[in-house]
Amino acid sequence: MPRSAATDRQFLEQNGGKWRVSIAVPRELQAKLGATGLKRPLKTDSLAIANRLKWQVVAELRVVIEEARRGTAAAHGDPLVEEALEMARLRARARTAEDVEDLDGAIVIRAEELQGHPIGEELDFGTGAMMPVYDDAKEERARRYAEMAQGKATPIALHHEQFIIQAHNKKRTEGDDRRAMRFLLAWCEREHVRPVLQAITRKVAVRFMDALPEIAKADQQLSPVTLNKYLGRLSRYWEWLVRREEAETNVWDRLKLTEPRMAAGEEERAFTDREVATLLNGPAEQRMQDLMRIAALTGARLDAIVDLKVGGCGDGLFIFKPQKRETGERAVPIHPDLAEIVVRRTEGKRPEDDLFPEWPPPRKAGSVRERSFKASNQFTAYRRAVGVNEVVAGKRRARVNFHSWRRWFITKAEQADQPESIIAAVVGHRRKGMTLGRYSAGPLIAQARRCVEAVRLPP
């Protein structure tokens, strides 16, 4: 049965004949807050009135507990916003219609308190009566509090950090998420769009998309390809919000800026055999020679190679960490031409040691750079030094780069009549078709080994 306001004692206890709010403090926070429970008097002996007054106090005390949990102080944010959001959470979890009614009553009382006393009167021409006039800023603050507390105005970024934590993406992708949110909030401020989920409709999202090149220009001149990446990250966030029923629809779905068409001869490509020979026969340091050969004979991405561990090079297999959309580690047979490199780099080392200690992880805490950042720069400098380069006017990247090793491996495996599905499995591409893509457990190691050993370095 629904609880009556005359009998409900949730969050309430009596003290000296008066009611007060009492909330238990989680055990892990008791030492930090110096109490096992937080209490606040309501100064009434009426249980019915106490039930109406308690909700605002419950919200305020829960904010104190949450701040202690996060290790933040109220000064770091707007405590009124936190209070309103806690009221919204309480309202969403209310078990009875009476609880909702009591919460709405508490929200009205709090909004009136924020609105303050009238500063004057003015004539209402519709009724002919004198109506009170309130301070504009206070009235607006009260209105926003009420909307937020009733769940009608949820700040855009309220759940964003939780989304990033649960996504388990790379630091670089996390940076993209935060940059996309920063662009959106900056645009909302410029265009006087309320930065709440309910205000971001499909039309508003289209307006932001059209303005994104100008908004992002403050950071740097970004291409449509990069800008679409930010639109994609916002779309992922909204998808997550829809699954949690915090948003009704993904307003960013399929929104993309038009990308310039790549003219013939402008797309990035594989190395030619002559370029491969030039690179491998040039004056590269040993670490670069080893890196290039492993890339050429596995088709692996640079970061996966640089991050290899000694323990991931046993039993004739490289164990590469997941990349892009891969769901797990990937085993690739070690080509016979790489056996000497593996023996030299693993001998006398522990399984947890790096195969390429020459390129350690970034030292700076929280760095979004991948471990391979310096290796990539050093390869680019070497590639240019030996004359392997092809630049297209107006393009930031050359047509050849470290990824060209991956393209070269795939090309050579295809030219050696290896099945497309086996090549895809070896390099970590999604295999085509439902049978191979969804139901197959993958090729046998023997099949993968035939694919790898079919690729030969040019003389």
Digit-coded pLDDT (tens) for 161-181: 889 989 888 888 999 999 999
pLDDT at residue number 1? 42
- Pick from 385, 257, 238, 361: nearest CA to 306: 361
Q: State residue 438's pLDDT score.
A: 42
Q: Which of 116-125, 245-254, 410-419 has the lowest mean pLDDT?
A: 116-125
Residues 215-224: pLDDT tens digits? 988 766 678 8
Q: Comparing 201 with 35, which gets the higher pLDDT?
A: 201
Residues 119-136: what's their mean pLDDT? 85
Question: What is the tens place of the pLDDT at every residue in 309-340?
Answer: 999 998 899 999 887 666 678 889 999 999 99
> Is the per-residue pLDDT at 429 higher than 50?
yes
Please provide the average confidence, as pLDDT, over all residues in the chain. Answer: 86
Over pLDDT 70: what percentage of the chain?
Answer: 90
Residue 34 pLDDT > 90: no
Q: Does residue 40 carry a pLDDT above 60?
A: yes
Task: Collect all residues with Cβ–Cβ distance below 8 Å to 105 and sequence separation of at least 6.
Answer: 52
Per-residue pLDDT at 440: 43
Angstrom distance (rounded) from CA 71 to CA 77? 12
Average pLDDT for 447-451: 92
pLDDT band at 92 (very low <50, low <70, confident <90, very high): confident
Q: What is the mean pLDDT of residues 170-194?
A: 92
pLDDT of residue 191: 95
Q: What is the per-residue pLDDT for 46?
A: 87
- What is the pLDDT, as a whole number, of residue 71? 65
- In this prediction, residue 120 carries a pLDDT of 87
Confidence of residue 435 (pLDDT cuts 50, 70, 90): very low
Least confident of 21-30, 72-81, 82-91: 72-81
3-state class (DSSP) for residue 332: strand
Is the predicted pLDDT of residue 2 greater than 70, yes or no?
Answer: no
Instruction: Please say if the pLDDT value at position 235 is more than 90.
Output: yes
Angle of helix 286-296 relative to helix 339-346, nearest 10 degrees, comes to: 130
Greater confidence (110 vs 305) lies with 305
Instruction: Give which of 370, 384, 380, 215 is closest to 303, Cα–Cα.
Output: 370
pLDDT at 263 over 70: no
What residues contact residue 152 under an 8 Å CB cut-off, 6+ apart?
198
Q: Which residues does 201 contact at the CB level (< 8 Å), separation at least 6?
A: 251
CA end-to-end distance (rounded Å), the chain: 85
Report pLDDT digits (tens) over 400-422: 999 999 999 999 999 999 999 89
pLDDT score recorded for residue 327: 63
Cα separation, 193 vs 44, in Å, equals 42
Residues 60, 39: contact at Cβ < 8 Å?
Answer: no
- Superfamily, domain 273-453: Intergrase catalytic core (1.10.443.10)
Q: Which residue has the higher pLDDT, 412 or 10?
A: 412
The crossing angle, in degrees rounded to 10, of helices 171-191 and 224-243 is: 90
Give the residue range(s) of CATH 1.10.443.10 domains in the chain: 273-453
Indicate whether 3 pLDDT > 50.
Answer: yes
Evaluated on CA atoms 111, 114, 116, 119, the torsion sign reads negative
Distance between CA atoms of residues 401 and 305, nearest Å:
15
pLDDT given for residue 42 in this prediction? 86
The residue among 80 and 353 whose pLDDT is bigger is 353
Distance of CA 309 to the CA centre of its chain: 27
Strands of the sheet containing 37-41, edge to edge, are: 12-15, 18-24, 37-41
Q: How confident is the model at residue 341 (pLDDT cuts 50, 70, 90)?
A: very high
